[in-house]
Chains A and B, each alone.
Chain A
């Protein structure tokens, strides 16, 4: 059984959905945040991929593209001791308390 990211040839009858979603600001921000972290030596693009590949398969299947980036960036920053999970938990909660939770 191939790893969850190793998608070539997986059986599917799905046609290819060519509709583009509108990028949310947080997605643009996350994309460029990763580039800035790279420029400072905190994570290179291969580490981004390793972090994405280490996402729990169930989450990988159901998350969006930049949700996977967010998970990978977190894995790398925590692994390197740049941030702690507790710090991120607390700040994320504060942001959601402020901006609301999706219904």
Chain B
């Protein structure tokens, strides 16, 4: 994470978002089970190197905004067998998120 000031951020705490349902050919770290799923932004956690381009020999610059997003387990898994209040947290780059109205 860099100490550099963040540019204009697309999302803020409490925003309802969904994860883009896409599978680009390049390396990416958005697991299949959250693609297309709805969650809530917990916080902006900082600017991070872009691992998607860095995996292809690039410097990974510029850094990108990353957010911690919370998902309800009952929304992710059909018939989730455990407690209905359980959550899943994952940190995602801004370009994977879309605002839910």
Chain A in direct contact with chain B (Cβ < 8 angstroms) = yes
- Chain A positions near chain B (C-beta within 8 angstroms): 2-3, 6, 8-9, 44, 46-47, 49-50, 53, 80
Contact B27 A6, beta carbon cutoff 8 Å: no
Interface residues of A: mostly helix, strand, loop or mixed? loop
Interface residues of B: mostly helix, strand, loop or mixed? loop
How many residues in B have their beta carbons less than 8 Å from beta carbons of A?
12
Contact B55 A2, beta carbon cutoff 8 Å: no
- Chain B positions near chain A (C-beta within 8 angstroms): 27, 31-33, 51, 54-57, 60, 76-77
Contact A2 B57, beta carbon cutoff 8 Å: no
User: Would you give the shortest CB distance from A76 to chain B, in whole angstroms?
Assistant: 9
Of B27, B76, B77, the contact of A50 (CB 8 Å cutoff):
B27
Contact B31 A46, beta carbon cutoff 8 Å: no
Known contacts A2-B33, A44-B54, A47-B56, then 8 further A-B pairs from the complex at CB < 8 Å, ordered by chain A residue? A46-B51, A46-B54, A47-B55, A49-B27, A49-B55, A50-B55, A50-B56, A80-B57
